[in-house]
Structure 1
Amino acid sequence: MIIQQVLLLLLLWMCLPHSCYAEMLFRRTTDHQPKGFVARVSGSDGKALHRQKRGWMWNQFFLLEEYTGSDYQYVGKLHSDQDKGDGSLKYILSGDGAGTLFIIDEKTGDIHATRRIDREEKAFYTLRAQAINRRTLRPVEPESEFVIKIHDINDNEPTFPEEIYTASVPEMSVVGTSVVQVTATDADDPSYGNSARVIYSILQGQPYFSVEPETGIIRTALPNMNRENREQYQVVIQAKDMGGQMGGLSGTTTVNITLTDVNDNPPRFPQNTIHLRIPESSPVGTAIGSVKATDADTGKNAEMEYRIVDGDGTDMFDIVTQKDTQEGIITVRKPLDYETRRLYTLKVEAENTHVDPRFYYLGPFKDTTIVKISVEDVDEPPVFSRSSYLFEVHEDIEVGTIIGTVMARDPDSASSPIRFSLDRHTDLDRIFNIHSGNGSIYTSKPLDREISQWHNLSVIAAEINNPKDITRVSVYVRILDVNDNAPQFAVFYDTFVCENARAGQLIQTISAVDKDDPLGGQKFFFSLAAVNPNFTVQDNEDNTARILTRRNGFSRHEISTYFLPVVISDNDYPIQSSTGTLTIRVCTCDNRGNMQSCNAEALLLPAGLSTGALIAILLCIIILLVIVVLFAALKRQRKKEPLILSKEDIRDNIVSYNDEGGGEEDTQAFDIGTLRNPAAIEDKKLRRDIIPETLFIPRRTPSAPNNTDVRDFINQRLKEHDIDPSAPPYDSLATYAYEGNDSIAESLSSLESGTTEGDQNYEYLREWGPRFNKLAEMYGGGESDKDTS
């Protein structure tokens, strides 16, 4: 606030003497002079200074921003030369902020600002002024436009868009290398004074970095800054307005600068000599150990490649670079042998793969170390003289013949004795055996090439002192052929001759096979065992022969089948031969020689139907007939399920019928529960096995009272069924478990009737017999059933 007041006083002091200020305003505003207004400024003596020229107007006012006075800030005065000072004119102000920010005295034309104005919010305001007759409200002057411009003061400090900047620069950069540019902005008016003129300076970060005062570019200030010594730097930059002079406002920002890596360091091995050990039994490709060089650089600048450059083990070992760990893995290239060599020396080199030519002067970017590898002795298994063995033997050798020998030794210096054995999983039939001491393989069973031509054996060699340490080797035994099989017919021949055949007619072509496999290939000879007057054999000399007739005409009624012995011989040593017999049937044929029938009876076979097919058809027919007969027999033997499930349910009568009747549904034709318990009342059920023509309403039949005789009950039931047409006479079993009060006939037991002493009264049966027959007829009984009652 004090600074603003000082600046305001300074501005007023610069405007003295006041008459000069008025003349300056007059000269600046005499151009562009709309008619009717004059601008007036008060002098030091309080008298109004004005130009007596009609139509002049002061069209631009100046107002200082951030006014801090207690009264309204005076802007200027508008006055028309038509104003006589009698209050007849009225001044009206319109436009930007009129009536709120700027007010005008209607009588005098004085303009005031009602509050403090910030130029950064709005630099100028455009308003319009008019003078009207207060009585007639008519304008005495045309409306005129003028501008109120806000004078700037230094009330805004420079600001940076970022509080913290991040930048990087390669290490070892030369002095003056640009790092980053920072720019501050000032909201003050750059066209008025030095309020917006910014100067940059460095407050923190010297002597490593510097900043250009006018541009804000940060540059390196020290040569060869090394990232390995220090990587992070914090620089504080200040921006100050008023050209950096005293009293200016300032702002700061922080710049974090990182030195990026360059390849300025070679790899280094931490040791000059590295010792490694490996057993001699390690297979090819086994990793022995690793070597690793360190590099002070990072990223791709620290990447390196390892190689073996010298030493007596360059052909025995390899080195592979692991990219992820930057290690060199040493592996076995060839099999090792403790007894041959026990120590190897390698010279290993590590070199950067990405070298910067700018830093060649620092020296070669590689390093070397010596690697010594000691081979350790182990108890090695036996070693065979060959990786595999192949033995060939003829199939006719005698049992116990040696077919070959395998040899193995102990590679260790102790040279332990070796014991041999056969892996029986490779010789399940135990055809071979081996001598445990010298490794000789011999046969224990006869060989047969026709059964198996190859035998793949596995021989095991083990040290006697260490039986668990074994070695296996494959032994392939090939069985060579010996002519020990006679040739035979290739297939079974179904041969026939037509009755109307002529002499010399071909009836069959035969061939032969032999299980043997001579080196020169098979050669067969065909001949007859004896001279045959009916047929002959003609050798084609291509391992086939033709069977020909020797006479005209054959009769199947005289001889239906001929047997022709054929001798087949091979040409290997020793010659093997066999006799095969051809069965030749005599058949009737058509004119074209197609077979029609070969039986003695005139059984005509369908054209193209073979004997085998006919036999198959007959067998099917026989099987079907047998099945039908068995099915019929089983059906006759099927027994009807007994109707009585328990003997205890039989009381007075058993009514038996031979026809099956209505099946399970007949159980609803009669309910025996009423007899067993006369007091039980049951609704009459409709038959489910039939659909009656007329549906009758079921009626409930009262059971006989306990003191009612069974005679009344049966009469009542008979009467109901006599008049009920919906109850067909199906077979049923009526079991009565209720005897009633008394029986007129007393006991009807056959045992009692057979006695001579007791007099049996059969009048009861004579009277009730027809009624029981009627009851039986109602429930499906026939004429034969009446005898059972």
Structure 2
Amino acid sequence: MKQRHRERRGVCANRTVCFVLFAAFWSCALAQLRYSVSEDVDEGTAVGNVAKDLGLERITLKDRAIRVVSGAAELLFRINDADGVLYANQKLDREEICDRKRVCVIDVKIALDNPLEVHYVSVEILDINDHTPSFPDHERILEIIESAVPGARFQLKAARDADIGSFSVQQYKLSQNEHFRLEVKSSGDNRKTPILILQKPLDRETAKSHVLLLTAFDGGKPPRSGNMTIIVNVSDVNDNPPVFSQDSYVVHLKENSPVGTTVIQVTATDLDEGSNGEVVYSFGSDVDPQTSELFHLNPETGVITVVGEIDFEESGRYEINVQASDKGAATQAAEKTVIIDILDINDNAPVIEVTSFSRALPEDSKPGTTVALISVRDSDSGINGKVLCFINQNLPFTINPSSQNNMYSLVTKQVLDREQQTQYEVMITAKDAGEPSLSSEKSITVVVSDVNDNVPTFSQNPINFYIKENNSPGKTILSVTAHDSDDGSNALISYSILREKDGDNLFTSFLNVNSETGQISGMKSFDFES
């Protein structure tokens, strides 16, 4: 890619040639660089030498402004226009910038002016182990009946760590004891949930309670850790746990479903009698707060309903642990995972962004000259996020897709004439492929600037005129006027008399013309007899 960039700079050594051929080679400017920087670096830390890696000479930066044009990236990074080095604009906090995304990559658009070039730089912010695992509760109390058989499982709340990858929670350790061992369940989102497993029967008459210490470790070197105290109270017999009616629950739900929509109903039964057989439902201990803000579980009926805004773009799938518990003195519970797949609907219109725009376009611009660079994005997925971009017809412009996804260039398709039309209103329309389709429009004004492409013309040509003899020298004998269709300084006219070098026409030597007004005066008195 660097070699392609250097070849382009060779072509563009002549500014005029570069301007004419910009459209043909503009995609060469879309060089892709990738840097990485650890979070928590100080403000002003150098990320990478963009100018050097793109093969830009210092003499190029001397005459051309270089800047960061991305929206959010402008707050995080800046570029030195003297040497082209990209710097951190503030102290970087990966967890604040990218939340818990596995890969934290910031796309930075860098533009060079005169002529316009856009380069794309990806900066990956690397995680450091700057957070300690912590449990939602410092203490967990479990009520376990003495008749519980070995192998009984009790899911605990997972420890959280704001770091990701190897720096997140990697393992758990249970304090030494003879009744319980620990098992760790891994879910698809790299979450590890501890499960307490009974390995030796409990005897309430021997010990009414057991105190355990659960420790969570992350993968740092050295690792960070957090603790939770588990108090196990041994209670008398309630020997039948609730049993769910299905082995699995999977349901499909459209995004934007209104509040109150029934998602699914789960049911469980308990063979015990009285309060030991009465079942209530609740979300499992591992359900995060964001999910509980979107869905409600009726504790009596097991019906799950919508209570928040369901947005496919936020999450396309929810896995919710539902717990069925009896009302016995020593509660027994069973858990089942309900999977809710969110179906995307076309609820986001495309967004048009003009990333670079030349407002004044010379009228002698060659066909193919780039006028503007346009990016289009649609937050929907699949066919709902596929976007087509076009402009209004009967204009001397066309819009071309680029090698970058959802990037377009607005270019001229014919020679312009300022004297025919001084500006154009270009309406850019972006339309997605959803059903029904959504679209957006954005208007830009292209001003055609003047070049000196018209010659002055006399209001009368040829001019026949008569003068009387014995005229007064210096007096005006004739006025001429001319007009130029160009604008500004290109339309300013000066007058002069063409003097013949061979001197045959002596008459012109006796005339003088005012260069600004076109008034012609005789420098002598003419004699008809002469």
TM range (shorter): 0.3 to 0.5
Greater C-alpha Rg:
1
Which structure exhibits the higher relative contact order, with contacts defined as CA atoms closer than 8 Å and separated by 6 or more residues? 2
TM-score between both structures, scaled by the size of structure 2: 0.41
Which structure has the highest strand share of the two?
2
TM-score between both structures, scaled by the size of structure 1: 0.29
